[in-house]
Amino acid sequence: MRISFFVIIGLMLSMTSCFYTNSRCLKIYKEAKKGGAYDAIIVPGIPYDGKKWSNIMKARVFWAVHLYKKGITKRVIFSGSAVYTPYIEAITMGLFAQKLGLPKDSILYEQRAEHSVENLYYAYKMAQKKGWNRIAIASDPFQTKSLMAFADRYKIKVGIVPIIFDTLHVIATSDPTIDDSSAKVNNFVPITDRLNFIERLQGTFGDGIQWEAEDRKNRD
């Protein structure tokens, strides 16, 4: 019997104790379906090499499209700058999502973030400024757990709809191609050439976030 790559990912993650289990994700999903549509979900970016999308990107994009089609969210905010490759992660993901049937007018692009905590913060602020109150993170369980710890620490009010790998195995069946020219940055300099290892590590903990005035009071 052929086992989906996504199922394998789920099994590997289930061997750790610091994320949401598949059964827990299913429970959260069912609760989300009952709670009414989120105004938007935040989908963190992942690098794209200009050739094909990675399995992680594929998982996040398919899950985002699934949540939209099931009426769990009204919109999707793809977040991510051009960080390690010349392609803006948010735009790349949006292009793939449109190929899968996500309407163009339901997609927003946050193009500033270079770390996952920045994906959360900047996309959340984007949603706030549009007057949207019900926002959720939609990513793999491990990243979701990490981002929720950050959200709790800084009082960022978001829900979660982490990926259910068994469901993903069923829905992630196609592999579209895109015209990625609109996502490519000219004169690109990767983060590894702009920041040293310590600076990049600090960025993963939020040290590079440009906090807005009203949020500074929540910082330690």
Q: What is the pLDDT along the chain (220 residues), one digit of tens a residue?
A: 344 555 444 544 444 445 678 889 999 999 998 989 999 999 999 999 999 999 999 999 999 999 999 999 999 999 999 999 999 999 999 999 999 999 999 999 999 999 999 999 999 999 999 999 999 999 999 999 999 999 999 999 999 999 999 899 899 889 999 999 999 999 999 999 999 999 999 999 999 999 998 888 777 5
| Residue 2, in any domain of the structure | no
Distance of alpha carbon 132 from alpha carbon 135, whole angstroms: 7
Q: Name the domain count of the chain.
A: 1
Look up the pTM and report it: 0.91
Query: Which CATH number fits the domain that encloses residue 108?
Result: 3.40.50.620
| Residue 112, in any domain of the structure | yes
What's the pLDDT score for residue 3?
Answer: 43
Domain that holds residue 44: 20-171+187-211
What's the pLDDT score for residue 10?
Answer: 52
| Residue 177, in any domain of the structure | no
Rg of the Cα trace of the chain? 17
Whether 164 contacts 22, CB under 8 Å? yes
| Residue 178, in any domain of the structure | no
Q: For 157, phi and psi rounded to 5 degrees?
A: -90, 95
What's the pLDDT score for residue 17?
Answer: 42
What's the pLDDT score for residue 203?
Answer: 96
Token reading at 24:
């827990």
What is the DSSP code (8-state) at residue 38? B
Distance of alpha carbon 177 from alpha carbon 50, whole angstroms: 11
What's the pLDDT score for residue 1?
Answer: 37
